[in-house]
Amino acid sequence: MKLSSATLVGLVALIFFVVLPFIVSDWVAADFGIYFAYALFAVSLCFVWGHAGLLSLGHAVYFGIGAYAMSLVTLGMVPGLPELHSTWVGLAAAIVLSTVAAAVVGWFFFANRGLKGAFLGIVTVALAVIVERLAINSSYLGGMNGLMSVPPITLGLNGDGPEIYDPLPIYYIGLTLLAVAIAAMMRVSASRFGVSLAALRENELRLWTLGHDVAKLKIAAFALSGGLAGLAGAFFVVQFGFAAPSLIGFSLSADVLIWVALGGRNALIAAALGAVAVRFLESRLSNLMGATWPLVLGMVFMASVIFFPKGIFGELIDRLDRWRDRANG
Amino acid sequence: MERLAIVLLDSSNAVLVLMLVSLGLAIIFGLMNVINMAHGEFLMLGCYALLALTEAGLPFFLALALAPFIVAGIGLVAEELLIRRTYARLLDTILATWGLSLFLRQGMVLLYGPGSHAVAVPDVGSVDLFGTPYPVYRLIVMAISIVTIIATFYVFFRTRFGLAARAVIANRTMASCLGIDTRRLDRITFAFGSGLAGLAGAAMAPLISIDPNAGLGWMVPAFLSILVGGLGTISGPLAGAAGVGAVDSLTAAFTSPVWAQLVVFTAAILVIRLFPNGLVSRAKREA
């Protein structure tokens, strides 16, 4: 069986990240747990934007819902259930709530004559600003400060049992989550549903004329992506320890867009690598470069839009593809 | 009664400035098919241009007259280096200008620091309106906005340039087939649109706190305005800005700015969802 170039790059990246903790020190590895959560988030946006062609400029909403849901459950703040602290229930709540939120938003935006392209982008930005405002002004959600001292992952059924906060286990949990999510989403992309989504991206009118329920496809893609973003948010918050309104609004939505576009929106693995690379460089270089880092990031981003519209890792995968084609004659 | 008059005046002020910002955005979008996410940053640049010029010792009103041209110049450079390379890829213009917005914001952080600056309101006194004193400067801002909007309409509907520009909005390919230099038009359009944002920023500079993120708060309302009003016309965005600005400032005056933003964004999303062609173009079609 011939592997696709994206799979090949994914496997190389997986081997690299599996051995990485043996090469670098523990505290470097500790940062990667957070990067993997961001990468998972990037994968969710890449699926809905790169694969289905729906540009969501406010995707942090679903990441934030996941983060807040996990925090509320593990902090025992669920109304009427003060004894509930379970990580597992938190995880389920994060995924279910973000999926439902994305489905409702998707239904509102896409049902009947839905919003398209740039319109969708602008409206999703506005939605992100609204949700961020609501979070800031909600005393239940801790307002501006957010929810603090969110407990780490606990293996017991209700917040008891061993806690996982050592960097190495977190690192491998994150890597596993990411690898499984990418593999699963690649399977989804190759399924009948996924092929319909790709057709939707290429020519919506034609797909509709062929009798497909376009709105239903879009809503399903949006909900699936939202759920994945919620999972990313939940995994983020159990490491980071607090959920703040900045996780749910405009700025993180802008960040994830840059990671995905810079990495490459045509391949899930490229988007994930984009997120990890940008976050890694950011933490390394912002000490060194200080305030010039965002300036450089902005310039690199503009240059990549002009010269590598497929993204940096996307371009790499593309070149590899062409090279392999030639090599095989 | 007096309070109502003040509220209405302040509200007109907000509406007129939002109209200026939305007009620039709509012209760039309509003519060039570029979604300019950095439009708010051009407004922010207008504030800083005014700040720099007044700090250099220029009289306030001279600085106010020069600032939009500086911003238009920056817009021209951005068009030449970045925007023109993303034409015909609508969604890539979002990404490119998003990068530009990050770049401009951080550029100002490096030049002026992340903190906020203030420009003194020029000492033009206040007049009695409806029995209460009202600052003259705010009236001047309104006058500038109205004159600029009228001038823009004059250019678009009464000059040869405007005719060419409207032809490009209606059908770009056909216009270029008829010998209209679309490349030159694009350049002028982008500079003009950024200049309008720069003017709005410079005029508002004494009334707001100037910081690198000053433009962010304008971007979403301006986009919502042009979508609410409808694309493809010049009057649509003005109507949209009137709606968005009025609802925003009136709700802010009677409840709180936080609620105002929630109400206006939610209302705008509903309108855009229910009338995807905008309120103005819809009215036209039914007539």
Q: Using CA atoms, how far apart are residues B279 and B274, in angstroms rounded to an integer?
A: 10
Q: Out of A122, A294, A298, whose CB is closest to B227?
A: A122
Q: Is the pLDDT of residue A290 over 80?
A: no
What is residue B283's predicted lDDT score, i.e. its pLDDT? Answer: 46
Q: Which residues of B touch A250 (CB under 8 A)?
A: 216
Residues A131-151 have a mean pLDDT of 85
Q: Using CA atoms, how far apart are residues B127 and B125, in angstroms rounded to an integer?
A: 7
Burial class (CB in 10 A: 0-12, 13-18, 19+), A317: buried
Residue B279 lies in a domain: no
Tokens of A117: 């392209």
Q: Using CA atoms, how far apart are residues B103 and A291, in angstroms rounded to an integer?
A: 11
Candidate from A22-26, A38-42, A48-52, B49-53 with smallest mean pLDDT: A22-26
Residues A215-241 have a mean pLDDT of 93
- The per-residue pLDDT of chain A, averaged, comes to 87
Closest alpha carbon to A101 in A252, A250, A241, A228: A228
Does A295 contact B at CB distance below 8 Å?
Answer: yes
Cα dihedral sign, B225-B230-B232-B236? negative
Q: Out of B94, B105, B109, whose CB is closest to A121?
A: B94
| Cβ proximity of A55 and B94 under 8 Å | yes
Residue B264 lies in a domain: no
Q: Out of A122, A298, A302, whose CB is closest to B106?
A: A298
What is residue A1's predicted lDDT score, i.e. its pLDDT? Answer: 53
DSSP string, A57-80: TTTHHHHHHHHHHHHHHHTT-STT
Q: Out of B114, B216, B273, whose CB is closest to A109?
A: B273
Residues A75-90 have a mean pLDDT of 82
Higher pLDDT, A117 or A216: A216
CA B45 to each of CA A97, B28, B106, B227: distance values in angstroms, whole numbers, following the listed order: 41, 17, 12, 24
- Report percent pLDDT > 70 for chain A: 99
For chain A, what is the radius of gyration of the CA atoms?
Answer: 20
Candidate from A94-108, A249-263, B149-163, B227-241 with smallest mean pLDDT: B227-241
What is residue B195's predicted lDDT score, i.e. its pLDDT? Answer: 95
Residues 6 or more apart whose CB falls under 8 angstroms from that of A194 comprise A51, A188
Does B109 contact A at CB distance below 8 Å?
Answer: yes
Q: Using CA atoms, how far apart are residues B240 and B225, in angstroms rounded to an integer?
A: 4
Collapsing DSSP to helix, strand or coil, B278 comes out as coil
Q: Out of B98, B100, B261, whose CB is closest to A254?
A: B98
Higher pLDDT, B182 or B285: B182
Residue B224 lies in a domain: no
Residues A180-197 have a mean pLDDT of 92
DSSP string, A181-234: HHHHHHHHHHSHHHHHHHHHHH-HHHHHHTT--HHHHHHHHHHHHHHHHHHHHH
Does B272 contact A at CB distance below 8 Å?
Answer: yes
Residue of A nearest to B225 (CA): A122
Residues B98-116 have a mean pLDDT of 90
With bands split at pLDDT 50, 70 and 90, how would you rate the model's confidence at B281?
A: low
Chain position carrying tokens 């992100």: A128
- CA A209 to the chain's CA centroid: 32
Residues B203-211 have a mean pLDDT of 90
Taking an 8 Å cut-off on Cβ atoms, the answer to whether A118 and B268 are in contact is: no
Q: Is the pLDDT of residue A161 over 80?
A: no
- Report percent pLDDT > 70 for chain B: 97
Residue B253 lies in a domain: no
What is residue A227's predicted lDDT score, i.e. its pLDDT? Answer: 95
CA A252 to each of CA A64, A92, A143, A263, B176: distance values in angstroms, whole numbers, following the listed order: 9, 23, 18, 16, 41
What is residue A211's predicted lDDT score, i.e. its pLDDT? Answer: 87
| Cβ proximity of A272 and A62 under 8 Å | no
B62-68 long-range CB contacts below 8 Å, 24 or more apart?
B63/B202, B64/B202, B64/B203, B67/B198, B67/B199, B67/B201, B67/B202, B68/B195, B68/B196, B68/B198, B68/B199, B68/B202
With bands split at pLDDT 50, 70 and 90, how would you rate the model's confidence at A153?
A: confident
Angle between helices A312-327 and A268-289 (to 10 degrees): 130
Q: Is the pLDDT of residue B189 over 80?
A: yes
With bands split at pLDDT 50, 70 and 90, how would you rate the model's confidence at B286?
A: very low
Q: Which residues of A touch B109 (CB under 8 A)?
A: 291, 294
Tell me the per-residue pLDDT of A294-313, one tens digit each, with 9 for 90 and over: 888 888 889 888 888 888 89
Does A37 contact B at CB distance below 8 Å?
Answer: no
Q: Is the pLDDT of residue A36 over 60?
A: yes
The total number of structural domains that make up chain B: 1
**A166: which DSSP letter?**
-
Residue of B nearest to A293 (CA): B106
Does A251 contact B at CB distance below 8 Å?
Answer: no
Residue B70 phi, psi dihedral angles, 5° rounding? -60, -45
Q: Where are the domains of chain A?
A: 31-250
Give the side-chain half-sphere CA count within 13 A for B259. Answer: 7
DSSP string, B243-259: HHHHHHHHHHHHS-HHH
B279: closest CA of chain A, how far (Å):
15
With bands split at pLDDT 50, 70 and 90, how would you rate the model's confidence at B1?
A: low
Taking an 8 Å cut-off on Cβ atoms, the answer to whether B220 and A126 are in contact is: yes
Domain range spanning residue B131? 2-214
Collapsing DSSP to helix, strand or coil, A86 comes out as coil
Residues 6 or more apart whose CB falls under 8 angstroms from that of B193 comprise B24, B25, B27, B28, B36, B39, B42, B75
- The per-residue pLDDT of chain B, averaged, comes to 87
Tokens of B35: 């979604």
Residues 6 or more apart whose CB falls under 8 angstroms from that of A62 comprise A44, A98, A101, A102, A225, A226, A227, A229, A230, A233
Q: Is the pLDDT of residue B186 over 70?
A: yes
Tell me the per-residue pLDDT of B65-91, one tens digit each, with 9 for 90 and over: 999 999 999 999 999 998 888 877 777
Tell me the per-residue pLDDT of B118-138, one tens digit each, with 9 for 90 and over: 888 888 888 887 777 888 899
